[in-house]
Amino acid sequence: MENLRPIKMETKVKTGAEVKGTNAVADKKAPQFVAGNPVNAVSQKVETDKDPKVESGKTGFVDVNKEAEKPKAEPSKMEIKASIAEKIAEQRAILERHIKLGDDLARKIRHRDNLKNIITTLEEFELVLKDNADETDGNYYQGCMLTIKDDNGKTFTTKNPTIIKGVAEQVNSLCTEKLEEVETDIVNLIPA
């Protein structure tokens, strides 16, 4: 160790097309380059005063959450089973809601189809009566009979064409209004 002497190191720096040999111990005022780019003197300063401090925000308070963050332990098998059971229960509840929605939708569609059939039947009945009325030259409900029967077997029957015409128009009007309500309910049942 007694024969220690300084060693000179040489590095080659490219500036443009020429290559110069420089002495590492040489003048520090000369520009220094790394990978062909000038070295920033500010970035060369090494920070030595870094101690492990907890960062504080702009308010000056210490953030306890950052200090307390530690890796969490993995959940136990019981916790995993409970989590899976909870997810299954949620999925079953969602499934039940979807089934109920499907049943409600199917019921409304059947109701809509029945109303459309009643309206179509009444319109076809009137068209046939109007075609035949040309032959009879009178009220096209002439010769029709209306019968109303209750659960006890009691009946009401009339052949009055004015009453029959009024009942047919009223039934058609009621069915058309109800059809609009049912179609609105169907649209509102379907989630967006």
Query: Do residues 158 and 144 lie in contact, with contact meaning Cβ atoms separated by under 8 Å?
Result: no
- Over 90: is that where the pLDDT of 75 sits? no
Band of the pLDDT at 183, cuts 50, 70, 90?
very high
Residue 127 lies in a domain: yes
151 lies in some domain: yes
Q: Yes or no: say if 146 and 164 are a contact pair by the CB < 8 Å rule.
A: yes
Q: Tell me the mean pLDDT in the region 53-75.
A: 58
Residue 87 clears pLDDT 90, i.e. is over it: yes
Q: Measured between alpha carbons, how far is 105 from 103 in angstroms, rounded to an integer?
A: 5
Instruction: Kindly state whether residue 152 falls inside one of the protein's structural domains.
Output: yes
Q: How far apart are CA 186 and CA 178, in angstroms?
A: 12
Q: What does the pLDDT read at residue 6?
A: 64
Q: How many domains does the chain have?
A: 1
**Domain assignment of residue 93, given as a range:** 77-189
Q: Is 181 a member of any domain? A: yes
**pLDDT of 14 above 80:** no
Whether 67 maps to a domain, the answer reads no
Residue 80 has pLDDT above 80, yes or no: yes
The answer to the question of residue 12 being in a domain is no
Q: Is residue 14 in a domain?
A: no
Q: Which two tokens stand for residue 65?
A: 């959450």
- Please give the average per-residue pLDDT across 168-172, as a whole number: 92
- Report if residue 92 sits inside a domain: yes
Q: 141 in helix, strand or coil?
A: coil
Report the DSSP beta bridge partners of residue 33: 38
Contact 119, 170 (CB under 8 A): no
